[in-house]
Chains A and B, each alone.
Chain A
Amino acid sequence: MKGSKYPLYFAFPALAVFLLFFITPTVIGFYYSFTDWNINADTISFNGLDNYRALFQEPRLLTAFKNTLIFAAAVTVFQNVLGLGLALILNEALKAKNFLRMIFFMPYVISPIVIGYIFRAIYHPSNGIINQALNSVGLGFMAQDWLNDPKFALFSIIVTDLWRVTGFSMVVYLAGLQFISKDLIESSSMDGAHYWQRFRFIVFPLLAASLTVNVLLAMINSMKIFEMVMVLTDGGPGYTTEVFFTYIRNMFSTGQFGYATAVNLMLFVLVTLIGVPVLMGLKKREMEY
């Protein structure tokens, strides 16, 4: 076995690139978050914790924080529940299963910007197909201004993103299901276990690795949501669907680079604070057979 190992320095060129293009900018960004870097200023100087003090006093950021968490929690939960459900169905011996797998996965490869524009049309209060469909079946009272009513706007963005990403979770779960031995399932059937019992005690525990990947990726990606919000509502109406990245974009575009970098760093801390315990918890329950 010893002979199959490669020397450590093989990794060094890649490490050098990583250092130069990822670690270095991150460290520089960390430094700039403690400066008054502003497009209108001639100089950049250290201003201690001023940016952090300012961001904690910004009510708009609190809204962005709340919306980001609601979005991330809802998408993570439903993406996994729906993805797992679809994977279980499409793992059965269905006639059109390959076609259906492709159909459900397809939204994931379309750009979120394009999806955003399509759903803008779908959600339109008078011309959109949702409200027109509701009207045509006599459910006109349920028609809403899906993107411009603060009560529904975030919900509409969540649903759109779920439509886009559920296929991805489905594929990861399907891959996990392929690795579960058929013998295990068959022998449990012979022992009299019905479908729910087989799922609860055999399939689901053995899908733990897929669950870890799916939950973690869903959580991190949804906390970084940007394009979908930008196209569908641009954080509006007002600031009601503002998320971290739309706020950061706004601060960058007004030239407050030091402050925007501080907000970005807050998001990094937040993702880490949530991501690490979730990862550790999920890792613990992973098992092999």
Chain B
Amino acid sequence: MKKIKMVSMLLAVSLALLGLAGCGGNNSQNSKAASGNTANSDTSATETKAKDPVTLSFVIPNTVDTAPFAQLFGEFEQQTGNTVELQALPGGEFDNMMKTRFSTGDFPDLFLMQPGTKQYVKLRADEMLYEWSGDADVWSRIIPSMKEAQTLDGKIYGVPYGATGMYGVFYNKDVFAKAGVEPPKNYADLITIAKKIKATGVTPFYEGVKDGWPAQIFYLTGWVSNVDPAIGDEGVAKLQTNELKMNAIPELKNLFVKHKELIDLGLYQDNVLAGTFDEMQTMLGEGKAAMVFNLDGIVPQLEKKFGKAFVNDKLGFFPFPSDADQGVAVVTPPNQLMIPTQAKHADAAVELVKFMLTQEMTDLYYAAAPGIPIFEKAKVELVPVQQTVKDLMEAGKSQINIQNRLTPVFADFQKLLQIFFIDGDVDKAYNDFAANYEKDGKSKLLEGFK
């Protein structure tokens, strides 16, 4: 009996100790959370070095060029003593990885997120994110339409930062010149151009199927020229609430048909399934591929590989054409900076954001990453492809990317497209696309999908 008693006591003590250790961990987490919550708008950019410098973690998708941020953070370190550690996560998985980090309490101090208010739903902004709505300093230079794009029920949880993005077709001007072709006037013209380029021995289109996400651009950029005119804003609103089904839009199905046509005509590179974003840049830069469906993130990458002269003189851009005309360009508001309220150094992160918003820093940012600016009086030198899109925007020939207008995402689209490249089954791909969209709405517990 004595033995049993002793054993039970030992067990109880060890469990209690372990339990206490667990509770202790929890308490410290809570106190961190509490201090995070105290982050408020009275913190401001300081030019004096912090007494106890901290290292802030900044999480960014690896599809975004980190160089301009690194430059800004260097300045921040010089002025405050605080350093910023960049963590680049895979672009295709970024949203999911951030959500997972949130759910496990692994909060970065600051992170870059896709634009728009739908992210508020995903990240449960009212509980988890620092609110910027009432901070006049933050919004003083940001152009009003960008502020509007971030506002939901009068609240703003993300500060837009960077340049207006663009999706479309990037092309190598030298290859076009050699084939004697010009940017297309309509979709049929695009096919004719591609055939002429193929006849010169150059691959007309390069696609990054292995990486997955690049293959989606065909549809996102094709949507605004082909699907939007057919369903209008009303149709988009119905998609948002699941009143309109994705597989009830013939124009969307037609995009799959068009894509299959490109595959069947052999207008993509050899080994198309092995295509990567990296090789896409190389092929386009070296003139081995004529055109790519991509986003503006490719511009700084091309500049890194082939120099500024290439981007200025050899790189061209045109929107995905519709059957009738040259189509419209897809634009995206810039990514937004967000701060989890429970971040370890939320105060310092707020200070960093305000530092990044100063005229000096935005000018520095645009010098390193020129793009269509969102700040008033911003000094920026646009590269020609950006000027093309700016001109289209001013001519009313642009539309915001459909994924920035819908809360459910085109889930597993990249996997679906990999299968589509293998089996070429239009009906299957189109129906799976619709099913995955509904599945995503359901998993997000959205109205109309539950």
Check if B309 is an interface residue, CB within 8 A of chain A. Answer: no
Contact A41–B445 (Cβ < 8 Å)? yes
CB neighbours (8 Å) of B121 from chain A are 40
Distance, CA A15 to CA B422, complexed state (A):
52
Distance, CA A17 to CA B6, complexed state (A):
18
Check if B52 is an interface residue, CB within 8 A of chain A. Answer: no
Q: In the complex, which residue of chain B has the Cβ closest to the Cβ of A153?
A: B273
Check if B188 is an interface residue, CB within 8 A of chain A. Answer: no
Contact A148–B443 (Cβ < 8 Å)? no
Q: In the complex, which residue of chain A has the Cβ closest to the Cβ of B421?
A: A237
Contact B7–A12 (Cβ < 8 Å)? yes
Contact A253–B271 (Cβ < 8 Å)? no
CB neighbours (8 Å) of A8 from chain B are 7
Distance, CA A254 to CA B419, complexed state (A):
21
Return the contact of B271 from the options A9, A145, A234, A239 (Cβ within 8 A): A145
Mark contacts of B1-16 with chain A using CB atoms, 8 A cut-off: 1 yes-contact digit, 0 otherwise: 0010011001100110
Distance, CA A274 to CA B11, complexed state (A):
35
Contact B212–A236 (Cβ < 8 Å)? yes
Check if A186 is an interface residue, CB within 8 A of chain B. Answer: no
Known A16-B14, A148-B273: A235·B3 in contact at CB below 8 Å: no
Check if A29 is an interface residue, CB within 8 A of chain B. Answer: no
Query: Nearest chain A CB to B148's CB is how many angstroms away?
Result: 25
Distance, CA A12 to CA B5, complexed state (A):
13
CB neighbours (8 Å) of A257 from chain B are 103
Check if A81 is an interface residue, CB within 8 A of chain B. Answer: no
Contact A12–B444 (Cβ < 8 Å)? no
Query: Nearest chain B CB to A264's CB is how many angstroms away?
Result: 15
Distance, CA A7 to CA B2, complexed state (A):
13
Contact A148–B271 (Cβ < 8 Å)? yes
Known A41-B445, A252-B100, A253-B100: A145·B419 in contact at CB below 8 Å: no
Contact B274–A147 (Cβ < 8 Å)? yes
Check if B415 is an interface residue, CB within 8 A of chain A. Answer: yes
Most chain B Cβ neighbours within 10 Å, of A20, A149, A236, A238 = A238
Check if A107 is an interface residue, CB within 8 A of chain B. Answer: no
Check if B28 is an interface residue, CB within 8 A of chain A. Answer: no
Return the contact of A148 from the options B18, B210, B415 (Cβ within 8 A): B210
Distance, CA A17 to CA B419, complexed state (A):
46
Check if A256 is an interface residue, CB within 8 A of chain B. Answer: yes
Check if B342 is an interface residue, CB within 8 A of chain A. Answer: no
Contact A236–B415 (Cβ < 8 Å)? yes
Distance, CA A108 to CA B69, complexed state (A):
39
Return the contact of B10 from the options A12, A240, A256 (Cβ within 8 A): A12
Contact B6–A254 (Cβ < 8 Å)? no
Contact A9–B99 (Cβ < 8 Å)? no
Question: In chain A, residues 196-245, which have Cβ atoms closer than 8 Å to a Cβ of chain B?
Answer: 234-240
Mark contacts of A1-39 with chain B using CB atoms, 8 A cut-off: 1 yes-contact digit, 0 otherwise: 000000111001101110110000000000000000011
Mark contacts of B278-321 with chain A using CB atoms, 8 A cut-off: 1 yes-contact digit, 0 otherwise: 00000000000000000000000000000000000000000000
CB neighbours (8 Å) of B99 from chain A are 39, 253-255
Query: Nearest chain B CB to A13's CB is how many angstroms away?
Result: 5
Question: In chain A, residues 164-205, which have Cβ atoms closer than 8 Å to a Cβ of chain B?
Answer: none
Query: Nearest chain A CB to B39's CB is how many angstroms away?
Result: 24
Distance, CA A232 to CA B6, complexed state (A):
54
Contact A237–B419 (Cβ < 8 Å)? yes
Check if B96 is an interface residue, CB within 8 A of chain A. Answer: yes
Known A9-B3, A12-B14, A16-B14: A39·B103 in contact at CB below 8 Å: yes
Distance, CA A40 to CA B11, complexed state (A):
39
Distance, CA A239 to CA B414, complexed state (A):
11
Contact A255–B443 (Cβ < 8 Å)? yes
Contact A125–B274 (Cβ < 8 Å)? yes
CB neighbours (8 Å) of A256 from chain B are 443
Check if B97 is an interface residue, CB within 8 A of chain A. Answer: yes
Check if A126 is an interface residue, CB within 8 A of chain B. Answer: yes
Contact A9–B10 (Cβ < 8 Å)? yes
Distance, CA A19 to CA B270, complexed state (A):
55
CB neighbours (8 Å) of B443 from chain A are 38, 40, 254-256
CB neighbours (8 Å) of B383 from chain A are none
Contact B273–A237 (Cβ < 8 Å)? yes
Return the contact of A239 from the options B103, B411, B419, B445 (Cβ within 8 A): B419
CB neighbours (8 Å) of B210 from chain A are 148, 236-237
Q: In the complex, which residue of chain B has the Cβ closest to the Cβ of A236?
A: B418
Check if B234 is an interface residue, CB within 8 A of chain A. Answer: no
Question: In chain A, residues 37-95, which have Cβ atoms closer than 8 Å to a Cβ of chain B?
Answer: 38-41
Check if A275 is an interface residue, CB within 8 A of chain B. Answer: no
Q: In the complex, which residue of chain A has the Cβ closest to the Cβ of B98?
A: A253
Query: Nearest chain A CB to B102's CB is how many angstroms away?
Result: 8
Distance, CA A7 to CA B4, complexed state (A):
11
Contact B274–A20 (Cβ < 8 Å)? no
Check if A101 is an interface residue, CB within 8 A of chain B. Answer: no
Distance, CA A12 to CA B13, complexed state (A):
11
Q: In the complex, which residue of chain B has the Cβ closest to the Cβ of A7?
A: B3
CB neighbours (8 Å) of A9 from chain B are 3, 6-7, 10
Contact B11–A12 (Cβ < 8 Å)? yes
Question: In chain B, residues 393-450, which have Cβ atoms closer than 8 Å to a Cβ of chain A?
Answer: 411, 415-416, 418-419, 421-422, 440, 443-445
Known A254-B411, A255-B103: A40·B444 in contact at CB below 8 Å: yes
CB neighbours (8 Å) of A12 from chain B are 7, 10-11, 14
Q: In the complex, which residue of chain B has the Cβ closest to the Cβ of A252?
A: B100
Q: In the complex, which residue of chain A has the Cβ closest to the Cβ of B272?
A: A148
Q: In the complex, which residue of chain B has the Cβ closest to the Cβ of A15?
A: B11
Mark contacts of A247-266 with chain B using CB atoms, 8 A cut-off: 1 yes-contact digit, 0 otherwise: 00000111111000000000
Distance, CA A147 to CA B10, complexed state (A):
55
Distance, CA A4 to CA B156, complexed state (A):
70
Distance, CA A237 to CA B207, complexed state (A):
14
CB neighbours (8 Å) of B419 from chain A are 237-240
Distance, CA A15 to CA B421, complexed state (A):
53
Contact A237–B10 (Cβ < 8 Å)? no
Q: In the complex, which residue of chain B has the Cβ closest to the Cβ of A234?
A: B212
Return the contact of B418 from the options A16, A124, A238 (Cβ within 8 A): A238
Contact B96–A253 (Cβ < 8 Å)? yes
CB neighbours (8 Å) of B421 from chain A are 237
11 further A-B pairs in the complex, CB-CB below 8 A; given A12-B11, A148-B274, A234-B212? A8-B7, A9-B10, A17-B14, A20-B18, A39-B100, A40-B122, A145-B271, A238-B416, A238-B418, A240-B422, A255-B443
Q: Which 9 A-B pairs have the closest CB atoms?
A: A238-B419, A148-B273, A253-B96, A237-B418, A9-B7, A16-B14, A125-B271, A238-B418, A148-B274
Contacts A/B (CB < 8 Å), 10 sampled: A7-B3, A16-B11, A39-B103, A40-B444, A125-B271, A237-B209, A237-B210, A253-B96, A254-B443, A255-B103
